Structure 1
Amino acid sequence: MKNIATTILIAATACAASADGMKSLESFMKGTQTGRADFTQTVTSPGKDGQAARSKTSTGSFEFQRPGRFKFVYKKPFEQTIVADGQTLWLYDVDLNQVTQRSQAQVLGSTPAALLASAPDMSVLKTEFALEAAPDQDGLQWVQATPKGKDGQLKSVRVGFAGEQLAALDILDSFGQRSLIRFTGMQANAVLPVSTFVFKPPARADVVRQ
């Protein structure tokens, strides 16, 4: 009897903790319209032909303004800037001095960016993703987001929260590659200048339109 009661208590506690992830996501969508943070991203590619998995780590800064604007600035080990201005997604590779320009509407629907910046509220988010609470891990509350469209490269995303504060993204693509992004120093509802999300290709940069 004691074991049964303990099992029920553990299960109930786990369900309550998991539910906090959905609550955190809802609070984030309602209460955080802009944000600024630093990030560390670790990309792990599955091993091939018996080789061990390979990982690489990047660092940089991140800013967003819902709906539809965000900016990733990768500083180490290679400089790269990704800007979504509401209409166009820009990717600037400093080493190559190349800018890739894409229509934002065509590429951001079922992507991690939609979870952070594109969707204005939960109802819109639920049109693109199936959302469910995931078990707490590493001191964070998690939500599992699975794209409803099956034609993209994104398999799933776990979104981690520390309370109502965005703390991590754990992204898995259809090739088995995992990208873990951890945010630090998150400033919710930071005042961001309009120029934050304005991108102009540098002089002499090669601009590729897709």
Structure 2
Amino acid sequence: MKKTIVSIALSALAYMAHAGGIESLENFVRSAKSGKAEFTQVVTSPGKDGQVRTKTSTGTFEFSRPNRFRFAYNKPFQQTIVADGKTLWMHDVELNQVTSRSQEKVLGSTPAALIAASPDLGALRKDFDLQALPDSNGMQWVQATPKVKEGQLNNVKIGFKGNDLAALDITDGFGQRSQITFSKMELNTDIPAATFAFKPPVNADLVKQ
């Protein structure tokens, strides 16, 4: 009887610890209406020669619910990704190319939906299976797996420190892994609407998808 009670107690404690990631995600989605941070992204991908290749980028991230965000990559190459509520813009400065896509069609099962689009946990569960993971590296983690397998995303792990978004660990169907860590996160701060406005440069190649 004592062993049974102890087992139940330990199981309950383990569940509570693992549930921390789900609760952190719910709190973030519900309470974070806007935010900005700096980020470092490390992309690891398998090469054709069997060698693992890595690329590190840095930049800034801003979002405003609903459905507006901006990733500005500064190093090593300049690239901007902007969602203005209707259109997702991608501007590659080096290639002098702008790609535009319907935001409604592409954001449903993406990491961006997890952090900047969905209004609540119920909306997220329509597109993702959510699973709490054990705490690690001082963060609470939750894994989100798209219910629709047509996209390239396998899953994304979201890490939180308290109610602050701290990391994304993204794996795609090509064996590529993208680890994004956020720093200097400021939530519910005033972000000008112009931040999410994008106008293609006059001389850029425009590709509509």
Instruction: Give the TM-score category using the shorter length.
Output: over 0.9
The aligned residue for residue 159 of structure 1 is: 158
The aligned residue for residue 42 of structure 1 is: 42
Q: Do structure 1's residue 115 and structure 2's residue 94 form an aligned pair?
A: no
Tell me which amino acid in the other structure corresponds to 1:17.
A
Mapping for residues 52-201 of structure 1, pairs under 5 Å: 52-201=51-200
Shift, 1:10, TM fit: 5.8
**1:141 is paired with a residue of what secondary structure?**
strand
CA distance in 2, matches of 1:66, 1:21: 21
| Structure 1 residues 21 and 96: alpha-carbon distance in aligned structure 2, compared to 1, 3 A threshold | same
Tell me which amino acid in the other structure corresponds to 1:187.
E
Shift, 1:8, TM fit: 6.8
**2:199 is paired with a residue of what secondary structure?**
coil
Task: For structure 1, list consecutive stretches of 5 or more residues without a partner in the other structure.
Answer: none
Q: String of CA shifts for 1:135-184, please: whole Å, max 9, x gaps.
A: 11111000110100011110001000001110000001011111000000
User: Normalised by the size of structure 1, how large is the TM-score?
Assistant: 0.93
The aligned residue for residue 15 of structure 1 is: 15
**1:120 is paired with a residue of what secondary structure?**
coil
The aligned residue for residue 32 of structure 1 is: 32
Task: For structure 2, list consecutive stretches of 5 or more residues without a partner in the other structure.
Answer: none
Task: Name the % identity.
Answer: 59
Tell me which amino acid in the other structure corresponds to 1:86.
G
CA distance in 1, matches of 2:92, 2:117: 23
Shift, 1:15, TM fit: 2.3
CA distance in 1, matches of 2:134, 2:146: 19
Moved more, 94-103 or 10-19: 10-19
Shift, 1:120, TM fit: 1.4
CA distance in 2, matches of 1:5, 1:177: 44
Shift, 1:123, TM fit: 1.2
Shift, 1:83, TM fit: 0.1
Report the number of matched residues: 209
CA distance in 2, matches of 1:13, 1:62: 35
**1:192 is paired with a residue of what secondary structure?**
coil
CA distance in 1, matches of 2:13, 2:122: 28
**2:198 is paired with a residue of what secondary structure?**
coil
CA distance in 1, matches of 2:32, 2:146: 23
Tell me which amino acid in the other structure corresponds to 1:30.
R
Tell me which amino acid in the other structure corresponds to 1:57.
T
